[in-house]
Structure 1
């Protein structure tokens, strides 16, 4: 039987350092959502624009993106309670607006090479394909080093959110 990993949320100071360093990262909005509202990696990567209401400042978690048997699939959230409506702090709305602008620029830049699969995902590669979950982990590791914060798992950002709210 595997040993349970110790949950090590970032401190409030480390969370602020991480988000400040993320401002110039193309995945900035994903870090804002992970730290401020506790979205899981798969929920972030499976988030669709149709589930985000920037005017009302809410998003609805309806699906997740996961690697299953060697392929990336859209799946149901982890549990029934995981499907939920979440109020967005102003910082998240700002980051998501920047994300939308980034994606529009990516689409224009990719032109005929845009591979947006019709999922309408919020977070995609520069050519519109879903982001490989392990690549988000790699981006997060590099960001943590740049921000000068302890090495924690991406999932620990969910617990960082909980401890900051607490």
Structure 2
């Protein structure tokens, strides 16, 4: 990570390595509301093979997208590789402290979330830190799902207005 003029810059190789190495993600601030970004990010990341453990005291004990919601990081059944924070920046320090305490490898703060002091503390404890980024967006960007027209929708066409679903195309022997 480098901070240039207040902007955060991350090496694509580092982000790619983090997303390849991570298998389990604790999503702090996961929401049961299908319209919230955390719900969609959790659904997407699960679809990419990540196990996402939702953390939100409001929903503790309920099931979200097939996973039991936990009250805090300490109550998780395993140590996640990454802690993904969907909370306000001012809420980050105690979450970062808990991520350090449980032995997570990565502390990731979502778009709009940044806390330089908590990041420095986590890095000093050996965690990789990413701020103001979304793992869903970065995964799509780095692993070829977001193309030059925006999103790889699985459509092909040689004529304007004509498209074929790739899944139908692939189904042929």
Q: TM-score, normalised by structure 1?
A: 0.35
More helix by share: 1
Report which structure shows greater RCO (CA 8 Å, sep ≥6).
1
Q: TM-score, normalised by structure 2?
A: 0.34
More strand by share: 2
Higher-Rg structure is: 2
